[in-house]
Structure 1
């Protein structure tokens, strides 16, 4: 039994009327770059005013290990803040006996409690374009320097 040649209209079942997306070359906004196989056939569309909007920004990612490390160090700084608050409240009766008044002591206690958060934010801001090890060196220096000594020495007991 001989097979009959397919009619030209058999491919019509695979597309809608007016759908040229399968045969038309792919289009890309101005400012973007196509890469890979067939990228030379990509058509760039848009005018010059679209170039500023469509220009991709190069993203510099942080590795998973660095993100976990930042989370751990951030958690340490949160615990340091809690330690400074508890230690500051425990020393408050002694602080009132000093020459500094109650208001000066309260200001110093709140600045000490805010120091870990300020250190963390400052290091993150100043090292945003630096290598990861430089950022971690600054954060670890803060972990060493900002230990809440009133809490460490006195503990939570009365």
Structure 2
């Protein structure tokens, strides 16, 4: 037997709201043989209108090319990168980071060679050269968001080819 306190644990505040009643609840009446009377089963109602599996295609009116929104086209072309794209972006980012370190090391090497250029100029050019790969990478990713993935990777590869730290490669790491 349950106590009212046990019933309170199984209720929720506002359960006695009359709008939540779904109908009259009653227990099935037992028959004289100990059997329980079954509730009557209502027949299924047929659907109001038959549902067709292949509706007729909608008719579209032609639209002028000028009316098409460029942003809608860009959004249609831009798709999120998959796993391969994200790994590729990571590898390109690591390459650009190594290039930045290479330009920094090469610039510091050039500063100690006794070139007839003021050292302030060499330091400024070294900082600019070290930032160039990072700026290229960020600029390509930021400015080509609506471009296709292969176009973005093409620009990143062009940046890799253009920004190779040749002074670092020609001088060597420990020359």
TM-score, length of structure 1 as denominator length:
0.61
RMSD of aligned residue pairs (Cα, Å) = 2.2
Give the deviation of 1:93 after TM superposition.
2.1
Q: Aligned to 1:97, what secondary structure does the other structure show? A: coil
Give the deviation of 1:2 after TM superposition.
5.6
Alignment pair present for 1:120 and 2:152: no
Q: 1:154 to 1:2 in 2, by over 3 A?
A: farther
Corresponding residue of 1:152: 169
For structure 2, the 5+ residue unaligned runs are 1-32, 40-75
TM-score, length of structure 2 as denominator length:
0.55
User: Whose helix proportion is higher, 1 or 2?
Assistant: 1
Residue 104 (structure 1) aligned to one of 121, 146, 159: 121
1:48-127 correspondence to structure 2 within 5 Å: 60-94=79-113, 96-98=114-116, 100-127=117-144
Larger radius of gyration: 2
1:23-38 correspondence to structure 2 within 5 Å: none
Give the deviation of 1:105 after TM superposition.
1.0
Q: Is the 8 A contact 2:133 2:163 kept in 1?
A: yes
Give the deviation of 1:97 after TM superposition.
2.4
